[in-house]
Amino acid sequence: MGREYIIFHFIRLYLSCASNRWVGMCVTKETRDMNVLVTVVLLCIGGWLGVQPDKAKDQIMENQKEIYFAGGCFWGTEHFMKQINGVESTQVGYANGNIKNPTYKEVCSDRTGFAETVKVVYDPQVVGLDLLIDLYFKTIDPTSLNRQGNDRGSQYRTGIYYTDKADLTLIDSVVGALAKNYSQPLEVEIKPLENFYPAEDYHQDYLDKNPGGYCHINPALFELARKANPSKKKEYRKADDATLRWNLSREQYAVTQQNATEPAFKNEYWDEKREGIYVDITTGEPLFISTDKFDSGCGWPSFSKPIDNHLIKENHDTSHGMHRIEVRSKTGDAHLGHVFNDGPVDRGGLRYCINSASLRFIPKEKMKEEGYEAYLPLLDKK
């Protein structure tokens, strides 16, 4: 009897009990026992029906795909793949063998049929499988059987293992085209993934933890991988008024579009001390960085300078009977605040007094995820 069948009828029985007022009739030990039992079973269903380790079918986000590369020692292959823009995660392990839960020692015996393999989870909207395969070929000798670099044995064979049958046509096409560059037949096996077991923890991210560790791949290729699929430059645009009214809070709209000023000491970022980046709330364009933020005591976020002077524009402001220099974002034309010449002398003497409502703060740990990875070097404190 199948697992799904058993669980289905168990839940059906329980619901039947409830609908027939069993709960009302047995509101004592029997009911409590049934509730406990159902809770335990339901908690176990995920593990019972879920993908077993030997099937390697992890649930991944809809905008992600996975492919598995065997390219000799998995330390170097993993480190290479993770450099590619669009690769979301990597994991080293053992693929397509004939025993369950193999250890590294067992795989090295050359009797288990496993290949040292790297699971690559990637965003197909950022990097294509064809590019991943092309780059993978740069790290291997595809005509060598069971040997890459100084490593010999069937566990060091080369292979591309897929979990989506729809990928096979593309894989065959790309590999077929690459094969024309070689005078000898290729030894890269192309097969569906039969099983995959994660390797021991000390193998994961090995070259990150051991920068001088053994690697059969030329280190220069890591830089090639980093540059192979550069990020497309973001385009920031001002939204129409209806969109701004929909997306912004009442205060954000009043500040950015009507030149209002939020209360001092009663705004979101005046006392924000975390590392990160501040972007225009209306466009998402980066404007300020936390390393240029300082405590001026005025009750609003204060910065010594913007990330780039070309990102802002200054206007003479004579409102409220004062003479001030207004600061606006150039792309979004959003009112940000004002700039004064009473800032720290060692930082240039300026104080950009900015409304929190004009900004969105992205902490350092979220910058890569939100597409601001290129600005991370600005956080390095001098």
Catalytic residue IDs: 73, 353
Closest CA to 116 of 176, 206, 188, 199: 199
* DSSP code per residue over 343-382: S-GGGTS-EEEE-GGGEEEEEHHHHTTTT-GGGGGGGS--
In 102-112, which positions are buried (b, 16+ CB within 10 angstroms) versus exposed (e)? Answer: beeebbeeeeb
Amino acid type, 159:
G
Contact between 279 and 286 under an 8 Å Cβ cutoff? The reply is yes
**Residues 138, 123 contacting (CB under 8 angstroms):** no
Sign for the pseudo-dihedral over CA of 266, 271, 274, 278: positive
Report strand pairing: 351-354 vs 158-162.
unpaired
Q: What angle do CA 146, 152, 156 make, to 5 degrees?
A: 50
Structure tokens at 209: 């933890």
Q: Is 75 exposed, middle or buried (0-12, 13-18, 19+ CB in 10 A)?
A: buried
Give the residue from 193, 256, 185, 183 showing the smallest Cα distance to 54: 193
Strand order in the sheet with 189-192: 189-192, 158-162, 65-71, 115-122, 87-95, 196-198
SS3 117: strand
User: How many residues are present in the chain?
Assistant: 382
Cα(first)–Cα(last) distance of the chain, in Å? Answer: 67
Token look-up 């064979």 returns 157
Task: Tell me which residue of 65, 96, 90 sits closest to 78, measured CA to CA.
Answer: 90
Distances (CA, A) of 349 to 278, 343, 380: 21, 4, 22
